[in-house]
Every structure is written in C-alpha cells, then in structure tokens.
A and B are shown apart, each in its own frame.
Chain A
C-alpha cells in the first residue's frame, strides 16, 4: 500500500484541508514513511482477536428523558464568526 499524490489529494479533500499541489508529494512521502512503519503490526497474529474499541468494560450509561439544556442562544453564538437573526451564516451551499 503506497500513498501517491492522487491519494493525498483525495485524503485532503475528505479531511477538508487545502494542500497545495507542490506539497502533495512531500506529504505522500511522509505518510508512506509512517504507514510502512505501522505495517509492522502485520507481524502480529490477530486471528480470533476481538477489536478493543474502549477499555472501560462498562456499558453505555443512559440519562432520563428530561429537557435540561438548550434555550441558551447567547452561549451558542458567543464565538460565532458570522450570524444573522440567530442563524449561523456560511457561504451559500448549492445542493
């Protein structure tokens, strides 16, 4: 598995990070370095090993169905770069 410029562009697009064309090759090289290093994991036999996503061993705690939050538009918009009439405002989205 080797990352090329096209893959870098694709990942950058998925991650919504602008990567200038001239940086793509350098990033590809870096990622390949890291990926070939983590390939070391292939030495480990993980047949019949359950993936471990969380170490707590507990199940999900649940809360009761009460309205305990909301109605705090000042907090919600406290740091907003642009808003109007209580809405967040972004460049127009075309569907």
Chain B
C-alpha cells in the first residue's frame, strides 16, 4: 500500500478520519408514526400528529425499520444486539418538534462490525464499524424564503435513519470516499437504503484530525452533512490542509462542528454553537426496550442476498478478473447480476471487458441506466460468444454492439442481416492477399529487404479489402507465410 502521509512544511503528517453516516432506512412509513417516508411531497404533507409533536402523541415503532437495521448490521458483519434501548437526545431546534430526537445512545441495535473498502489501486482493507443505531430524522428549515423568517417543513421529521459510526481507521480522503461508496453499495444490495445522496438519503459527518506519525490522536473537527462523495473528499482535503497550517504555525485546533460550503469547497465554524452538546440523554419513557429474537435475526440472515465482497472474491478468484473490473462490476447489485447472467456460458474476462468498456461507455453517453437499456445479459453474452468462436472480429463486434444498444437485437441476427460474418475461409483470404501483394510489389520488396514494420500495412490492406470481415488471425498467418516464405 502506498503511504498516505501528507507532507507539510515541517515534516510528514498522518491524517485520521472517522465517519458517521446517516442512512435513510427504506420503508413505507416513518420510524415512530404512520406517515409516509416518501421524499418530495408538499410541505407538511407527510406529517402525522406524532411527527408534529402535538400534546399527548406517542411513538410506536415500525417493525420493518428494525428489520432493515438488522439486515444492515448483518451486511456489516456486525454483532446484533437482541436487546437495545431508545433514548431521548434533548435539544431545541425549529425542525425538531418534540424538543428531542429519539435515538439510541447506550445500547444500540447493532454493535461492532467491519467493512472492506476497495481502493483505486486494486487493494482492499478493513475499516472498523463501531456501531449502528436507529434514530429519527429531523425536519427541514429553509432560510432563504423570507428576509427575517425561517420556514419549517416536517415531512422528513421522524423518518427512520441508521447512524453508522466507523472507527477512526481511515487515513485519506480517498479511503473515506471508498468507505462511503462500499457502505452505500452494501445497503443498496440489501435494499435497506436507496443511497440517494442528492435527495439526502445518505449523508456523512466527517471527523478529521492530523498527527505526527506514531503520535497520539490530534484534536478533531466534525464537518456535518456532506451529501456527495466529492464533497466528502473536498471537505477532508480542506480540513487536512487547514489543520496542518494551524499546527505548523504553532496554533491549536478547536474541537468544533464545522459546515461545508459546497460552492467554495471550504469548511467554516458553525455560528450557532450547540450548548456544548449537553444532550441530556435518558431512556425514552414512552418506549420499552426493543427486543428481537435470535430466530428473527437468523431468518433475516438466511434471506440476505450475496453481497459485493463475496461476488468480487469470486470474480477475481474463480473468473480471474482484475480487482478493478471486479470492483466496478460489483458496486451495484444490478450490474453484478447482469454480469453473472451475461458471462454464464461465455469468456468471463471478455464479458467483463465488454461490460466495463463498451456497455458502461454507451450508458454513460446516453445517460441511461442499466435497467433502462435495451441490451439484455443474454444478448451481451451472445455477442461475446460470436467473438470467441471467431464468427466476428472484435472490431465488427463494436458495430454489432452499437446496433444492439439501439435496437436491443440479437447479435447473431444483426450479423446475419448486415452480412458482417467474419471470413475465415482461407481460400477467400488467400485471394485477397494475392490481390494486395500484386498491387504493392514495391512494398513487398521493401519488406523483404528488412523493413519489418510494413507487415502491419499489409494486414490493414487485407482487412480493408475484406470490409473488416476477414478473420485477422488467419490473415496474419497466411500473410506471414506468403511474405516470409518468398512465395
């Protein structure tokens, strides 16, 4: 692994990063009320009297949210706590109607686990998970609607969140981004969080500190509510530079909460300090201990889908794919399933290549998702099959693919219709070669005189004459005997 140390003016610094990720639980209704958890309704439309904290309203927990937390815990190879407790986290804010957030403080539903991250250089490593707990989301305050007023929408109030807390195990912004990417991927495989960062379904608070290698942890700052991988990296990179500058200037880092400015890519101190965080946690007396049975946990475990790490291991191990290709293919479950289906009876590596280069390229260009596109796994596999059995060349295959992407047609049919079948008949190829040699006698002489580089020229001419359909292997082979053999 390459070193992650950051060079400052006075020497090297080590970056220490821990993440708190807030992931919205995929569910129909909210954690403690029957209002819809859907995004995008009119203001205060998805609000029940419980969410609005009307006098006398009481919370009742949504079983599915509990199951989703357990599934996620299992996906993070974490301990599931059969007994957990909901606490109240007390603070005043306009978008927190109860004056407290129901959360889990001392006894979370999920304990320690680990997450394997895949780094761009193809290496992987484990990041510790400290805990996962269930809690309520807050509402939304809008500050730009009126010069002296804030507007409050409680639609998100009470939507179930999983807060997933990592160990401070990450050493670079790239690792942090890889962590969030993998976490998102696992939750999407599990169907426990849609991972939609733009809509706020997944947000991260990053804790960053720097220290001299081998020394004790430095003072950390927490930058809140980052809702894209790019912002996470930017915020960390900015904090690292800022903190190193302060420390090298003999200054001290304030332990504080900071806000990220998406337009400038910088962080700044929050103006409203939160009362030194005296949240006065205590067990919510409206709720009883949450007890789940081992049987239910086992049932959920048995029904878990195969997760990206397992699939990736098979792809790199059994199928011989590169770590990079395997990581790309397994990030999304749909892609992994597509790949498995497409490559089932075909050259695994070749299918991987076609997916990551041609298919993803075309999707990118057209702005389509895999689910929207007309190419089915079977069709893509068929195309690769035609290459493998020599029916078409790789070059022709690209033309076939272009048609397939447009129409969703079968590769063999397209080849048939367009007459693109590769010519492997050596008699036909010999005729082409003869014609090329006859038309370029001067070049033949030069070649034979030692200008080896001209071989490629002859191959090109033959292929051109065949309209690209000549089997390049056979062309090479015959050309070689004809030119070198002096015939």
Contact = CB atoms under 8 A, between A and B. Distances in A.
Interface stretch (A19-27, A28-36, A41-49, A82-90): A82-90
A88 B44 contact: yes
A27 to B, nearest CB: 18
B235 to A, nearest CB: 16
Contacts of B62: 62-65
A1 interface: no
Given A14-B278, A68-B29, A69-B35, A95 B143 contact: yes
A54 interface: yes
B212 to A, nearest CB: 34
Given A13-B275, A14-B275, A76-B49, A67 B36 contact: yes
Contact of B288 (A60, A70, A94, A95): A60
A61 B35 contact: no
Contacts of A14: 275, 278, 280
B143 A92 contact: yes
A65 B68 CA distance: 11
> Size class of A's contact patch?
35 or more
Closest 10 CB pairs of A and B: A70-B35, A68-B34, A65-B64, A69-B34, A59-B291, A69-B48, A62-B63, A87-B151, A86-B43, A88-B152
Contact of B152 (A65, A68, A72, A87): A87
Nearest to B32: A63
A85 B143 contact: no
A56 interface: yes
Contacts of B146: 84, 89, 92
Contact of A95 (B33, B52, B272): B272
19 contacts: A14-B278, A54-B283, A54-B285, A54-B289, A59-B289, A61-B60, A61-B61, A65-B29, A67-B34, A76-B47, A84-B146, A85-B43, A86-B42, A89-B146, A90-B94, A90-B149, A92-B148, A93-B94, A93-B272
B142 A87 contact: yes
A72 to B, nearest CB: 7
B352 interface: no
A19 B404 CA distance: 75
B46 A60 contact: no
A58 interface: yes
Contacts of B92: 16
B160 to A, nearest CB: 10
B65 interface: yes
A81 interface: no
B34 A94 contact: no
Nearest to A65: B64
A24 B141 CA distance: 33
B287 interface: yes
Nearest to B155: A70
A70 B46 contact: yes
A83 to B, nearest CB: 9
A14 B65 CA distance: 31
Contact of A90 (B152, B272, B291): B152
Given A58-B288, A71-B46, 13 more contacts: A56-B288, A61-B288, A63-B61, A65-B29, A66-B34, A67-B28, A68-B34, A70-B45, A76-B47, A87-B151, A88-B44, A88-B153, A93-B272
Contact of A87 (B43, B64, B86, B291): B43
Contacts, number: 146
A24 to B, nearest CB: 18
A7 to B, nearest CB: 12
B270 interface: yes
A75 interface: yes
B5 to A, nearest CB: 34
B49 A60 contact: no
A38 interface: no
Given A53-B283, A54-B285, A76-B44, A93 B290 contact: no
Contacts of B186: none
B437 interface: no
B267 interface: no
Contacts of A86: 42-45, 153
B80 to A, nearest CB: 15
Nearest to B83: A59
Nearest to B43: A86
A8 to B, nearest CB: 15
Contact of B50 (A13, A69, A88): A69
Contact of B291 (A60, A89, A95): A60
Nearest to A78: B54
Nearest to B224: A95
A75 to B, nearest CB: 6
B27 interface: yes
